[in-house]
Amino acid sequence: MTEKVKRATVGIAGLGGLGSNVAIALARTDIGKLIIVDFDDVEQSNLNRQQYFFDQIGKAKVDCMIENLRRINPDVKVEGHKVRLDAENVPEIFAGADVIAECFDTAEAKQMIVEAVLSRMDVPIVSASGLAGYGNSNAIHTRRISSRLVLVGDGESGIDSVKLLTAARVGIAAMHQANAIIELIVDGIKV
């Protein structure tokens, strides 16, 4: 098992509440390589649920995450891209990935990357939907939608309806995503 994990490359699209937590979990699991992508900078409002520090406010999330990951696991290889992903650049940026984690905030961005990966690449994607607010931890679950699509969340609670994002609920979903990625790697990715 350990060798499969150490040889694996995981792409993470978005380094907010989901992506920063997925990246940390995979680094702690001794993943071989992470390809991390985000166009944004760290803001103070991010600190309630994202894996950044006060002194990183105003800096690029990609650069800060590389720094934080190297502190956690200096052996993990990290390739960072500060770009906005679109349907055209997803296959190029994640060309070496064995599996991709969709960690975006908006429904449109989520749909774009899932469609791009499923139509233009031969790797699985682990996506998230419905994880805002607080409350029933057991409502968040992992479902295999197809051989290449895994969906995490409760499928219902969006930020529009709840108006609240908490570290606990986002963290639960992120750990589901990280666990699903490890499961795909260890059990063998079936495409």
Burial class (CB in 10 A: 0-12, 13-18, 19+), 155: middle
> Of how many residues is the chain composed?
191
The secondary structure of the chain in percent helix, strand, coil, rounded to multiples of 5, reads: 45, 20, 35
CATH code at position 98: 3.40.50.720
The pTM assigned to this predicted structure is: 0.92
> Total domain count for the chain?
1
Nearest-5° angle of CA 126, CA 128, CA 132?
160
Domain that holds residue 17: 2-187
Q: What is the pLDDT along the chain (191 residues), one digit of tens a residue?
A: 589 999 999 999 999 999 999 999 999 999 999 999 999 999 999 888 889 999 999 999 999 999 999 999 999 999 999 999 999 999 999 999 999 999 998 889 999 999 999 999 999 999 998 766 666 778 888 999 999 999 998 866 554 444 566 667 788 999 999 999 999 999 986 54
**What pLDDT score was predicted for residue 191?**
41
Residue 134: per-residue pLDDT: 67
